[in-house]
Amino acid sequence: MKLKTVFLLHKPQHMMMDWQGQKLAEQLMQIMLFSFAAVGFLTGYVLGSFQMMILIYAGGVVLTTLVTVPNWPFFNRHPLKWLDPSEAEKHPKPQRQQAASSKKKSSKK
């Protein structure tokens, strides 16, 4: 029971893509689909084959799906580095509050 809850808590973090990976995935998806559409349309028009346009685009959609939908390792090269709890203890919050209060004092003067 305990093991299961631990697994569930950790699962989303493993499934998640990092921020830069998400941006890359979205841009790749749009550029790839648009390029395949352009190539498919031009090829279809030049060859006079509507079927060719659809085939090229369908192939492009499948390829784009394979590249951008699964969470590949290259989408996770910029992981978020959370501070270790011990680091937080070394730099406690009150320090910032002190600085803020000193600013207030200076503004009052």
Partner 1 sequence: MHSFGYRANALLTFGLTILALMCAMASISDNLNHPSPTAQVQVLNINWFQKQPNGNDEASMTLNISADLQSLFTWNTKQVFVFLAAEYETTKNSWNQISLWDGIIPSKEHAKFWIHTSNKYRFIDQGTNLRGKEFNLTLHWHVMPKTGKMFANKLIMSGYRLPEEYR
The footprint of partner 1 (CB under 8 A) covers 15-17, 22-23, 25-26, 29-30, 33-34, 37, 40-41, 44-45, 47-50, 53, 57, 61, 64-65, 68-71
Shortest distance, position 61 Cβ to partner 1, whole Å: 5
> Which CB, 70 or 92, lies closer to partner 1?
70
Task: Kindly report the length of the chain.
Answer: 109
Residue 73 per-residue DSSP state: G
Shortest distance, position 56 Cβ to partner 1, whole Å: 10
Which amino acid is located at 32 in the chain?
M
Which amino acid is located at 65 in the chain?
T
> Which CB, 6 or 69, lies closer to partner 1?
69
Shortest distance, position 104 Cβ to partner 1, whole Å: 39
Total Cβ atoms within 10 A of residue 57: 19
Return all residues near 50 (Cβ < 8 A) that are at least 6 apart.
44
> Which CB, 49 or 97, lies closer to partner 1?
49
CA atoms within 13 A on the CB side of 68: 18
Shortest distance, position 90 Cβ to partner 1, whole Å: 31
Which amino acid is located at 62 in the chain?
V
